[in-house]
Structure 1
């Protein structure tokens, strides 16, 4: 069994290849039981363990284990860590143990970029990233691979982290750190939220016609990055219905407030990509994509890494 480091994952997961692999996997489908979600009570706060299995009907088998420790931010340690075990499908023998953190970051950003291909305006040039964690650079790169991004705004509670991201991408885009979210949201073509917030950061009244709102961070019912007005004003899409119904705090809390119904969701991503349901239908439509992560994304990313390694045939 091969151990694949974070550096190797980054090297072998091109955005074009990963997004293409995700597209095919969403359309073709895999077996993906509901993920196991375990709350862990730690001495310094709440943490979460996620177990996410998936397998192809006659191919690869995989499972990811992820630990989420929001309190790690206070210690300068990444909040999310994990690993992915990929096995071959004929005999179930392990092939590789893959760094799960880098795999997760890249597949998460790639899934949002894949959704943006169908939901964001083709002319989208201005991206607002809300959050300064490890996912922030990933969503900049992923969205820029599918839309002609020229300007990137970064908002975060930690100004030094926001400035570091802005400086890192200053040679590729016009970058700036913003402190007024209302003004920044009104100027953005794509707003990508990558936080662990439990309180709304984005208000629906700030959204302008044509905006695409990409909600990545909140993955538990108690979390949310938007108020209910965002969902009321937007055409809402999700990565999977099952994930949204069980874990999408933005949606579940808006439903609890009487501002939204689950039936108001326009489609899950596979339906849009297969052509069964439409994505964006007009330039002035406000679209919202809510993802909580799906095990099929991890399996797709793990296969892409494995088959991209020297000497590994598809």
Structure 2
């Protein structure tokens, strides 16, 4: 007898199921429960060319209460922007951990955009000031609108969003698109390519999603009480802030792989700016309450994420279970 066919969840269906707010809440409620049940080895990273790469991110459960195995397959082609294509593309495959059968496939490009931004949004609920008013988005690529929506979900006190991009037209186009989107009434969106140091000084939350290999955010320009969210870098050569930002901030990571991969942190360790033991904690520890997030209105907090198979799995689980029960 033939087994049932895997479910194919289209990108349209995935985007209709997920919102940043629901995914932030899902991570917040499930991370403490399942983090000890899931095995997520360090992702495999293969260079296909000097600029492009293939990444494999597996995760599996050791408990029948969470009966899944998942693998994300991702390509990173940063020059795709010139072709008007996403730089990151891929597929997510979900298996049953009881039988090993393939049960679902879905677009991991959109899944990654939602989960990455929602991880930053979740961190923002613990690390950004409750009265944050201004969000600065550094970068205007595919992840930028997701990060903006996630931070707005996490911090409804935000009133102004400044989008900075080297290509000013991209920043202004994204600002206009968001200005015309439903649900953003009363919010001020501005696109700019002006002096980044000046706009960094305005940000209560500064979120970065670029492939920069030269520091963009200077720590001396961060205002007291700012929260710096670093999303773009995942290799030693990539960095979105300078050593001073790391030195000034209380630094948190999404998971411990960031200590080995993120250019901002690896470089700071090598130069003696900060020691690994001085990293305050990771996302699971924040959510569990094992580590205290923001401890004063004046301190600067830094959150560095590189992604993990654990949150990929939780995002895919939410999509699959919502899709099959609706």
- The normalised TM-score by structure 2 is 0.92
CA contact (8 A) 1:17 1:304 kept: no
CA distance in 1, matches of 2:133, 2:12: 30
Report the equivalent of 2:3: none
CA distance in 2, matches of 1:200, 1:6: 34
Among 128, 132, 136, which residue is 2:136 paired with?
128
Q: CA deviation at 1:258?
A: 2.3
Work out whether 1:254 is the aligned partner of 2:299. Answer: no
Report the equivalent of 1:298: 312
| Aligned 1:75-94 pairs, distance under 5 A | 75-94=83-102
CA distance in 1, matches of 2:177, 2:78: 24
Q: CA deviation at 1:4?
A: 1.5
CA contact (8 A) 1:25 1:296 kept: no
CA contact (8 A) 1:120 1:212 kept: yes
| 1:4-55 CA distance string (max 9 Å, x none) | 12221111112232112222343120211111111112xxx42111100112
Report the equivalent of 2:252: 237
Work out whether 1:57 is the aligned partner of 2:72. Answer: no
Report the equivalent of 2:22: 17
| 1:111-135 CA distance string (max 9 Å, x none) | 0000001100111121000001100
- Secondary structure at 1:169's aligned position in 2? helix
Number of matched residues?
A: 308
Q: CA RMSD in A?
A: 1.2
Query: Unaligned regions of 5+ residues in structure 2, if any?
Result: 1-5
Work out whether 1:38 is the aligned partner of 2:46. Answer: yes
Report the equivalent of 2:237: 222
Q: CA deviation at 1:72?
A: 1.2
CA distance in 2, matches of 1:187, 1:17: 29
CA distance in 1, matches of 2:117, 2:131: 20
Report the equivalent of 2:168: 159
Among 241, 260, 274, which residue is 2:288 paired with?
274
CA distance in 2, matches of 1:6, 1:219: 25
- Secondary structure at 1:309's aligned position in 2? helix
- Secondary structure at 1:8's aligned position in 2? helix
- Secondary structure at 2:52's aligned position in 1? strand
- Secondary structure at 2:93's aligned position in 1? strand
Work out whether 1:47 is the aligned partner of 2:55. Answer: no
Deviates most, 179-188 or 290-299:
179-188
Among 137, 145, 148, which residue is 2:145 paired with?
137
